[in-house]
């Protein structure tokens, strides 16, 4: 194993796959000359040249469409959005073309494309740059949605996403690019659609994904001091969702808390809640608790932002509530 930053894991995954397959290229704003807005493509222009690491104008709709068209013609593009907030400008290409072309062409065209970039909040970036759209994309048939929380998972999942023959939404975080973690030295991939138990426990299941899962880890450490053992599941892939992993854990702990950085109405936690009450209702010893942001646009004020975001204290309160403590 070696210890690298999240951004280095992303760069390694892309570079290894581009060495393996010449049909793969990276395109987006500042990915080439500037080495990526978050330095997640550092050194790639030098290695692969300007035909495969391509800087674009600020034109998300345009370069998303170029990517979709080239994927239909045998390439495997990686399209980087500086943040998924900006993907709203190009969302027509993602939803109406990438996600639907296989069905609408009667199977004549695949669309092996990865749309990647950071999601959710990243400090005081205000309302229009602090949004989490995982549930939006997961709601659309034809898209796969991946949200890793650490360097090892990011590298293995991104390699699988690049090799996938369907469009994949790969969502990172500006606040995770500097995170360090152990990554295997050799070749490896992590299959899409498989969750992982990050911490074993017997008293309550906590399901989360992405950077906000760190708050679950903090809560679990505190709760352990009080004799409460939390089992933490990292979804890793939002769609397809590993519902069976969640159900197995809930059948063991009989309690469920879901932590997600997203607005509360109709999100990923809502779907998990439905699946569990539908398939494991008799195993539940308490109502399911879900923890989300406030139901408002993200505030700019640091005091209000801290209140808006879920944190480990929210998790502790939710766990104690489902345990009737």
Return the percentage of the chain with pLDDT > 90, whole number.
100
Task: Identify the pLDDT of residue 309.
Answer: 98
Distance between CA atoms of residues 168 and 148, nearest Å: 13
Q: 170 and 245, same structural domain? A: no
Q: Does residue 56 fall inside a structural domain?
A: yes
pLDDT recorded at residue 225: 98
For residues 178 and 200, membership in a common domain is answered with no
Kindly report the average pLDDT of the chain as a whole number: 98
User: What's the pLDDT tens digit per position in 190-219?
Assistant: 999 999 999 999 999 999 999 999 999 999
pLDDT given for residue 158 in this prediction = 98
Q: Which of 296, 321, 313 is nearest to 131 (CA)?
A: 296
Domain boundary among 141, 162, 183: 183
Q: For residues 122 and 257, state if they share a domain.
A: no
Does residue 233 sit in the same domain as residue 88? no
C-alpha span between 209 and 140 (Å, rounded): 19
Q: What is the mean pLDDT of residues 145-158?
A: 98
Co-location of 135 and 243 in the same domain: no
Same-domain pairing of 253 and 317: yes
The angle formed by the CA atoms of residues 114, 147 and 117, to the nearest 5 degrees, is: 50
- Among 183, 217, 237, which residue terminates a domain? 183
**Residue 189 resides in a domain:** no
Question: For residue 215, what is the domain's CATH number?
Answer: 3.40.50.920
234 shares its domain with 312: yes
Q: How confident is the model at residue 250 (pLDDT cuts 50, 70, 90)?
A: very high
Q: What is the pLDDT of residue 302?
A: 96
- The number of CA neighbours under 13 Å toward the Cβ of 49 is 3
**Cβ atoms 26, 78 nearer than 8 A:** yes
Q: What is the mean pLDDT of residues 218-246?
A: 98
> What is the model's pLDDT at position 297?
98
How buried is 226 (Cβ within 10 angstroms: 0-12 exposed, 13-18 middle, 19+ buried)? exposed
Residue 311: pLDDT band by 50, 70, 90 thresholds? very high
What are the phi and psi torsion angles at 99 (to 5°)? -75, -20
Q: Looking at the domain assignment, is residue 252 inside a domain? A: yes
At residue 11 the predicted structure's pLDDT band, cuts being 50, 70 and 90, is very high
Catalytically active residues are 60, 129
Please give the pLDDT value at position 229: 98
Q: What is the span of the domain harbouring residue 303? A: 196-322
Q: Rounded mean pLDDT of 152-161?
A: 98
pLDDT recorded at residue 73: 97
Whether residue 188 lies inside any domain: the answer is no
In terms of domains, do 69 and 35 share one? yes
Per-residue pLDDT tens for 126-135?
999 999 999 9
CATH number, domain at 68?
3.40.50.970
Task: Write the pLDDT tens digit of every residue in 19-76.
Answer: 999 999 999 999 999 999 999 999 999 999 999 999 999 999 999 999 999 999 999 9
Last residue of a domain, one of 137, 152, 183: 183
Q: Are residues 144 and 204 in the same domain?
A: no
Q: What is the pLDDT of residues 65-107, one digit of tens each?
A: 999 999 999 999 999 999 999 999 999 999 999 999 999 999 9
Q: Are residues 203 and 282 both part of a single domain?
A: yes
Whether residue 137 is found in the same domain as residue 261: no
What is the reported pLDDT for 17? 98
For residue 242, tell me if it sits in a domain: yes
pLDDT interval class at 161 (50, 70, 90): very high
* Domain count across the chain: 2
> Could you tell me if residue 34 is left (phi over 0), alpha (psi between -120 and 50 degrees) or otherwise beta?
alpha
pTM score > 0.95 for this model?
A: yes
- CA 108 vs. chain centroid, Å, equals 29
Q: Which pLDDT belongs to residue 170? A: 98
Say if 145 falls within a structural domain: yes
Same-domain pairing of 78 and 23: yes
3-state helix, strand, coil in the chain (%, to 5): 40, 20, 40
231 belongs to a structural domain: yes
Q: Is 77 helix (H, G, I), strand (E, B) or coil?
A: strand
User: What pLDDT, in 10s, does the model give residues 253-285?
Assistant: 999 999 999 999 999 999 999 999 999 999 999
310, 292 contact by CB (below 8 A):
yes
């Amino acid at each position: 194993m070696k210890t690298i930053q999240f951004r280095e894991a992303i760069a390694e995954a892309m570079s290894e796959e581009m060495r393996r397959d010449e049909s793969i290229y990276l395109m987006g704003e500042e990915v080439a000359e500037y080495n990526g807005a978050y330095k997640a493509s550092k050194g790639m222009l030098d290695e692969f040249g300007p035909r495969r690491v391509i800087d674009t104008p600020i034109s998300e709709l345009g370069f998303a469409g170029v990517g979709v068209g080239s994927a239909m013609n045998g390439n495997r593009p990686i399209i980087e959005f500086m943040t998924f907030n900006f993907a709203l400008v190009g969302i027509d290409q993602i939803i109406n073309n990438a996600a639907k072309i296989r069905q609408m062409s009667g199977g004549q065209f695949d669309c092996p494309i990865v749309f990647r970039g950071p999601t959710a909040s990243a400090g005081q970036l205000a309302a229009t740059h602090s949004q989490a759209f995982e549930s939006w994309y997961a709601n659309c048939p034809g898209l796969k949605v991946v949200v890793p929380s650490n360097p090892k998972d990011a590298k293995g999942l991104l390699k699988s996403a690049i090799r996938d023959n369907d469009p994949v939404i790969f969502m990172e975080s500006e606040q995770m690019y500097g995170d360090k973690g152990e990554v295997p030295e050799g070749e490896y991939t992590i299959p899409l659609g498989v969750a992982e138990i990050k911490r074993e426990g017997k008293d309550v299941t906590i399901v989360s994904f992405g950077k906000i899962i760190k708050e679950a880890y903090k809560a679990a450490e505190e709760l352990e001091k009080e004799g409460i053992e939390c089992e933490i599941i990292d979804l890793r892939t939002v769609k397809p969702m590993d519902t069976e992993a969640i159900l197995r854990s809930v059948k063991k702990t009989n309690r469920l808390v879901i932590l997600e950085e997203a607005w509360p109405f109709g999100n990923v936690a809502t779907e998990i809640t439905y699946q569990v009450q539908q398939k494991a209702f008799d195993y539940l010893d308490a109502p399911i608790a879900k923890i989300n942001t406030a139901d408002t646009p993200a505030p700019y004020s640091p005091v209000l932002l801290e209140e808006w975001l879920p944190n480990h204290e929210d998790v502790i309160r939710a766990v104690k509530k489902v345990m009737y403590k």
